[in-house]
Amino acid sequence: MGEASPHLCAVKLNRQLVLPLGLEATRALVGGIHDLGLPAIMDCKLNDVGHTNAAIARYYFNVGFDALTASPFVGWEGGLQSVFEVAGEAGGGVILLVYMSHPGAVEGYGQWVVDAETGERRPQYLVFAEKALRWGADGVVVGATYPEKIREVFKVLGGEIPIFSPGVGAQGGSVEGAVVAGASYLIVGRSIINAEHPGMVAESLKERVNKALGR
């Protein structure tokens, strides 16, 4: 991680890493990330009732995470409201899943729904993007494998909330396609972690982003 750190803006950890480590070992890992001058994001995808969500969020913020991910499917009242409250107390952020990067995302995030508030028939992910604005989310996730969805969500958000795009590399998402469509941050895990020289790969990805944006 140290070799790649000059070219990163944050480090995201998944549950499959944190679960076998336990909270105390995770605290040390998060501390190491902070020592590199980077924020740590917990990709826990909270999606339960309010008191359960709050307890989980509190554990993660207590070990030092700066932000976590959550699913808007569970709704606000009795769902994610408590997560935003815990995050506010901890000075942390909440990043909402708006459209994930895997092929099956269309079955949930891509379905057409009748908006309970307006009665309009609309794509679920655009309803979620509007909820992100209304709830004051600190970021949204839209897969880099769906640049057309990034573009639509970016239009809804109006630049007020950053878009985090996973799926670059191993899942086939394009660096250039995602950032040109409106992604603020790219989530790249396996391409860097599994590389023989992770620092070189991270630097190359950063250079591609800058070139795509004309920097």
pLDDT tens by residue, 39-48: 999 999 999 9
To the nearest whole number, what is the mean pLDDT of the chain? 94
Instruction: Give pTM, 2 decimals.
Output: 0.95
CATH number at residue 191: 3.20.20.70
3-state SS, 39-87, equals: CEEEEEEECCCHHHHHHHHHHHHHCCCCEEEECHHHCHHHHHHHHHHHH
Q: How many CB atoms lie within 10 A of CB 119?
A: 7
d(CA 114, CA 144): 26
What is residue 110's predicted lDDT score, i.e. its pLDDT?
Answer: 96
* pLDDT of 1: 61
Residues for the chain: how many in total?
A: 215
Residue 117 has pLDDT above 80, yes or no: no
Q: Is 12 a catalytic residue?
A: no
Averaged pLDDT for residues 169-196: 88
Looking at 12, 45, 131, 211, which residue is catalytic? 45
Amino acid type, 31: G
Give the SS3 label for residue 147.
helix
pLDDT band at 4 (very low <50, low <70, confident <90, very high): confident
Q: Running DSSP on this structure, what letter comes out for residue 80?
A: I
Domain count, the chain: 1
Quote the pLDDT of residue 100: 96
